[in-house]
Structure formats: C-alpha cells, structure tokens
Amino acid sequence: MRKSMMLLAVLMMASMTLSAKKDGLTQYVATWTTAIQKVEPHNLAPEPGLSGNSLRQIVEVSFGGKVVALKLSNEFNTEETEILGVELAEASSQGASSDIKGSSTPLTFKGLRGVTMKPGEVILSDPAEFKLKPRMNVAITIHFGKASAKDVTGHPGSRTSSYIAKGDTKNFKGAVETAHWYYINSLLVEKPRGQFGAVAAIGNSITDGRGTTTNGQNRWTDVLSKRLLQNKKTKNLSVLNLGLGGNCVLRGGLGPTANSRYERDVLRQEGVKYAIVFEGVNDLGGSRDGEATAKELIESFKKMIRQAHDRGIKIYGGTIMPIKGNGYYNESREKGRQMVNEWIRTSGEYDGVIDFDAATRDPENPDQLNPAYLFENDWLHPNASGYQKMGESIDLNLFTE
C-alpha cells in the first residue's frame, strides 16, 4: 500500500510538472536581456529594412542551460509585426560576422513557427531544447513578414553588429550590417527554483557601454558577469544589462525614464535576486539647479529601494562618476553629484555601495575622470580600460548573501 501511494504521488508530481510547462508556467531566469525603447528615426534598420527580410542578431549570455525561451517585444509599435520564423544557433563570433556554428534550432509560438505581435504586445516562445554554454554568443535569426518601417521596438546601443538579409532566408552572405538590436528582449533559461538568479543593472550610456569595443562584449556588466561565473559562490548568477544611452531617472532624456521602466526592467525581470542602480548623471547634466535635482534623485532612489525590498531583492547603489571637463559640468551640478554620492555612501538605504566614482576618478583631480580611462576626451564616458576597471572594482561578496 505504502509503495503504491508513493508511486501515485510521484506520478501526480510528474503530471503537475508537465501540466505547468504546457500552461506556460515554467520557471525561468534571464541569462541575457536588453532595455527596449522606441527606436529613433536615425537608428532604424537600413535598407533593405526588416519587412519581408531576415535579421540575425548576436547576444552574449551569462550562464548556460539546456532549455531556453526567447522573449520578443512589440511594446513601442503602433502596428502589428508579423514573424514568419525564429531560430537560435551558436554564433561563430561576438558579432564580427553573421556566421554560425553547426545547425540552428527553430523556435515555436504555441506550437506554430510564426506569430503576429499586436501593437504593444510582448510574447514568449515555447520552451526549446538548446545546449547553451556560459558566455556563449547566440545568433538569433528572425524572419519577418510585414513589419513597420518607422514605429519599431528595439535597443539602439547594441555595441554589437546585426545582419539583414533579403527574403525569408538562412543565407546571410552579403548581408547588410547595422549596430542595433530590434524586437529581441530577453533570453530565458529554465532553471531549478532557488538555485539560480540574476543581477539586474539599470543605467544610462555608461551601463549601455558607450566607449566599449564594438563586438567586444566588454561593458562593465560583461566584466562582472565573467567574474561571477568564475567564482564558485556566484557562478549561478547572470548579469542583465538594462542601460539605455541618454537615459534619465526623472524626466526627459532618451527612452522611458528609469522611474517609468524600473518595474518592467528590474522588478518583473525573470529571476532577479539583486539590483544595481547606476543612474543620475544625465538628470544632473541637464539641470538648472543641481542640488534640487539631487534631492529628487534621492527620493526616486529611496522608492526604488523600497520596491526592491518588497520583492525580496537586494539593491546596490552605484556612485555617479566625475563630469568635470564635459559640457554637463558646472558648480551647481557638481554639488548635486556630490550630494547624491554622499547619500549613497553614508545613508545606509542601499544594501551596499558600488563606488564607481572612486574607481575611475583622477587621484590628483578627484572631480574629473582619470585621463587613462577617457573615451574620445569627452570627460564623461570611460574607454574599454575604464569599463574593465569598473567591472573589477565590484566586490563579489555583495552577491553571496
């Protein structure tokens, strides 16, 4: 009798698991994601465009897995986007070519090869078996039917080449190259609950990677991801880059403000255990009163902290890096930057501090960037060496608790 009951229980559990997967309740963790926005006219896909053509985009993930799903977004489109098919494959490079290794794995959407996304819709593919390795470069190929040429959801600052080929094809020889991502939002991995998690980093162009090497995958978040994967205590954590170039926290800037996208990009992101907030320089750089803007930023950060804690997420604050020498700088804005950084370091509101300011400033002139880390001498964005320093400066113990 006892054996029969145990067998029945096992069968019921198996049935429940299969049912959950069929009903779309599979537990996922994001291994890669990007922040999305309405693509500006100058960042739209070049000729021949996306409609009726095929697009191959390359992303470098954090950890691996055996079952994956792809999230696509039509959030900022006012028209339907028709997708004829999607495939995944291992890319041959970090983005320098459209070549893939071996065969590709087709994805389905409710069992079908194609899907039409309604305006504003976000869709998730069915789970698919795919041997995903840590830090693998994945080629995501999308075959488009009808697609808008003007209202497009995407991520302009990919720092990675994408490739457009004419027609519904897998032949990308002679494809048109463009350094933008379109429609892809997240790559998810099926993982046992509680054993894996994600670090979501929300920020602006310095998180997005302006100044890094195109197709080099060397943003500070990439450096952090590699370090976490090499550490036994943190090897099951992904790092999700949610930077948007020109982004602000409060108002204005490019893309949705950090305040408006925080819930979507961080709180509702699959598997997030830790959050990093590294924003504010663009708000201060456009401010008429640096101290007043600093107070508003602090109040916004306090709200983000409360919301994260309500979800059981640990949250860390990144100090704002120096801006002297850039057009953003004046005495009022510098006072505001110092106010925000002092609050981050001493208030105890955040669960920990990531002191990017201390890591990248000039020791002899602490209100400006170290000249060794300058990108194009704009005194705002670091170069590849600066991003390496940023990623290496983060204490991994923050992610072991």
Q: What residue segments make up the domains of the chain, in order of their start?
A: 37-186, 196-399
Paired sense of beta strands 100-107 and 237-243, if any: unpaired
What does the pLDDT profile of the chain (401 residues) look like in tens digits? Answer: 444 444 334 333 333 333 334 344 579 999 999 999 999 999 999 999 999 999 999 999 999 999 999 999 999 999 999 999 999 999 999 999 999 999 999 999 999 999 999 999 999 999 999 999 999 999 999 999 999 999 999 999 999 999 999 999 999 999 999 999 999 999 999 987 778 999 999 999 999 999 999 999 999 999 999 999 999 999 999 999 999 999 999 999 999 999 999 999 999 999 999 999 999 999 999 999 999 999 999 999 999 999 999 999 999 999 999 999 999 999 999 999 999 999 999 999 999 999 999 999 999 999 999 999 999 999 999 999 999 999 999 999 999 97
DSSP string, 378-397: -SSSB-HHHHHHHHHTS-GG
Distance of alpha carbon 126 from alpha carbon 109, whole angstroms? 5
- The domain made up of 196-399 has a fold known as Rossmann fold (3.40.50)
Structure tokens, 170: 């897998």
The long-range contacts involving 100-106, CB below 8 angstroms and separated by at least 24 positions, are: 100/139, 104/139, 104/141, 104/170, 105/129, 105/130
Distance of alpha carbon 20 from alpha carbon 15, whole angstroms? 9
Cis-peptide into 127, omega within 30 deg: no
- The pTM assigned to this predicted structure is 0.93
Which amino acid type is present at position 219?
R
Neighbouring residues of 230: CB distance < 8 A, sequence distance ≥ 6: none
Q: Which residue, among 78, 94, 82, has the nearest Cα to 39 in the 3D structure?
A: 78
